[in-house]
A = this chain, B = another copy of it.
């Protein structure tokens, strides 16, 4: 299914007047509206190929209907999102759930929809049919060299797929860890993992980045071999300049100050990418901004401030990706909400009066520092996002148009009710 431009035009025509009124209002109140709108237009968030179907928990999955069954259908879904918001112009592939069998046609399809290939993701947290060795007790950290070698080769294969598609980064998330005291020798697990990383790193194309994602717990429940930013940074530092830490918002212990981690990783030149989601308890993988949008804003402020300090390009110098699980919402609607929340936080961060904040910090004027941040956060930046969409020929209200066009019904008509997307 494709959304023809005129349908977007029709939708926008109806809502234009109200939008213009709101935009005028907010533009009068803020200094840099035009600059923010431009930055918003450039900012794209990659959609993971595994997030287009309904997710679940160990207790079950309640599948939705009309889900994509093939990589082509997944790209088509992202094309729908991108047509609606012009902010989802990238896909992050998961191998082996979504192996691109026919590279040329896949690339052509993506190009046609304006979608590029973001970081590719390896998977050594599940066993695949016909695999020689099991990852039950880990992969890159495994006590047995054979298993490590198999996992290394899988990562190298993933890089090959990525190269063929034009990706230039690999994200390695390891579920390696232990569920019981005594199961692992922590040092040996670290050293085995480092050795494995080194082999992969050695074969990384010179213009690629390697993102090392950390996670505090789950699916292992006692230790994780890449468990926090400190460990990830240790690996990345030992590996070299192409290795970076990737931060997933849900991968921390309770109450962690993620904004500070982001700031310090940028200081060290070692922040590589970002997985957006939200959570209340653990790696809940909820819609971005649905639980604590203020924290999201604070993180974005550190991103913007820290990237500016290093003259980094907001849109291109970090990998931006959603990593969520849609258990009770329509996946496409959920993703529309998530992208919106990300861009609202980004706009709010751009709105912060940095000079005033800096001055307040320099004087330990804590009250004013809070005022500056909250003034940006409390400002309703949505008209700026709308304007950015409008200029990019996206929909004024993507979610509304998604529903008006009955996109899901059409997808069900085309694909049927029972198809189940690969993924979690």
A residues lining the B interface (CB < 8 Å): 21-22, 25, 28-29, 55-60, 62, 125-127, 134-137, 143, 175, 178-188, 190-191, 216-219, 221-223, 227-231, 233-234, 252-257, 259-260, 263-264, 266-268, 279-282, 284, 286-287, 289-295, 298, 302, 305-306, 309, 325, 327-330, 333-334, 337, 344, 357-358, 360-362, 364, 366-367, 369-374, 377-380, 382, 399, 424
Q: Is the CB of B58 within 8 A of A183?
A: no
Q: Which of B219, B293, B344, B371 contacts A60 (CB 8 A)?
A: B219
Copies of this protein in the assembly total 4
Residues of B within 8 A of A25 (CB): 25
Cα–Cα, bound, A400→B28 (Å)? 21
Q: Are B60 and A127 in contact (CB under 8 A)?
A: yes
Q: Is the beta-carbon distance between A327 and B291 smaller than 8 angstroms? A: no
Are B227 and A230 in touch, CB under 8 angstroms?
Answer: no
B-side contacts of A186, CB under 8 Å:
259-260, 263-264, 267, 302
Q: Which of A175, A223, A255, A286 has the most CB of B within 10 A?
A: A255
Q: Could you tell me the distance between the alpha carbons of A193 and B175 in the complex, rounded to whole angstroms?
A: 35
- Which residues of chain B are near A229, meaning CB under 8 Å? 230
Most buried by B among A181, A187, A218, A253: A181
Q: CB within 8 A of A337: which of B29, B136, B302, B367?
A: B367
CB <8 Å contact, B281 and A217 = yes
Residues of B within 8 A of A143 (CB): 361-362, 364
Name 8 A/B residue pairs within 8 A (Cβ), A-sorted. A22-B29, A59-B218, A181-B369, A183-B364, A230-B230, A293-B374, A329-B366, A380-B380
Q: With A328-B137, A344-B378 in contact, is A292–B294 under 8 Å at CB?
A: yes
With A137-B328, A179-B327, A371-B399 given, can you name 17 additional A-B contacts, CB distance below 8 Å? Answer: A181-B294, A182-B372, A186-B263, A187-B263, A217-B282, A223-B257, A253-B255, A281-B282, A287-B370, A291-B294, A293-B377, A329-B366, A333-B367, A337-B370, A344-B378, A367-B399, A378-B380
Query: What residues of B have a CB within 8 angstroms of the CB of A135 in the complex?
Result: 62
Chain B residues contacting A187 (CB-CB under 8 Å) are 263-264, 266-267, 306, 309
Residues of B within 8 A of A358 (CB): 185
Looking at the assembled complex, report how far the CB atom of A33 sits from the nearest CB atom of chain B, in whole angstroms. 14
Q: In the docked arrangement, what's the CA distance between A252 and B280, Å?
A: 14
CB-based contact B327/A373 at 8 Å:
no
CB-CB under 8 A from A364, the residues of chain B are: 136-137, 143, 183, 328
Bound form: Cα–Cα A5–B266 in Å: 50
A221 CB contacts on chain B under 8 angstroms: 279-281, 284, 286
Q: Which residues of B contact A290 (CB under 8 A)?
A: 180-181, 370, 374
Rounded to whole angstroms, the CA-CA distance of A175 and B62 in the bound complex is: 13
Q: A184-B361, A228-B228, A260-B223 are in contact. Are A366 and B253 (CB under 8 A)?
A: no
Shortest 10 CB-CB contacts between residues of A and residues of B: A230-B230, A182-B369, A62-B136, A221-B284, A186-B263, A57-B219, A253-B253, A60-B126, A25-B25, A137-B364
- Alpha-carbon gap, A334 to B290, bound state (A): 27
CB distance from A288 to the nearest CB of B (A): 11
Complexed CA–CA distance, A262 and B286 (Å): 23
**Which residues of chain B are near A175, meaning CB under 8 Å?**
59
Q: How far is the CA of A219 from the CA of B55 in the complex (A)?
A: 11
Q: A366-B179, A370-B290 are in contact. Are A255 and B217 (CB under 8 A)?
A: yes
Please pick, from B191, B257, B362, the residue contacting A222 in the complex, using a CB distance under 8 A. B257
Task: State A364–B284 Cα separation when bound (angstroms).
Answer: 20
**Chain B residue with minimal CB distance to A135?**
B62
